Amino acid sequence: MEFLRSLLFHDGEFLGIQWHAWKVVGWAGNLVFTSRFLVQWHATEKSKRVVVPALFWWLSLTGSLLLLAYAGLYQRDSVFVAAYAFSWIPYLRNLLIHHRTERARRACGGCGHRGEPGAAFCSRCGKPVGAAGGG
């Protein structure tokens, strides 16, 4: 056990990293940004088609902003700042489009399923969308 502890903690460092608040922000940004791929992969496997859920864009936005803060406020590295300075724009745009699309979905009067915007019939039960009791 002591051997394992000496491998993990050495000279005041954990895993060879001198930890402080900005390191936590930077590593959190990397962890959040990387986790979005697991979310997208899981959603695609579950649906058996390519799916990019809103959570993917939230993780992208959060991760890129954390990394931008780490790069600009702590590292002050122009290359690192340039890499994340504008990456948040498409993530935010995709979240706005997703929100608008979700708001435009109408519920089926027959089964309550919220279908695609503009659909005339429910993809689940086949009844007219918005018709009370199924018309």
pLDDT digits (tens, 9 = 90+) for 70-117: 999 999 988 889 989 999 999 999 999 999 998 888 888 888 888 888
In terms of Cα–Cα distance, which of 111, 26, 135, 113 is closest to 73? 26
Specify the pLDDT at position 7. Answer: 67
Domain ranges of the chain: 2-104, 106-135
- Per residue in 20-46, pLDDT (tens digit) is 888 888 889 999 989 999 999 999 999
Angstrom distance (rounded) from CA 103 to CA 59:
21
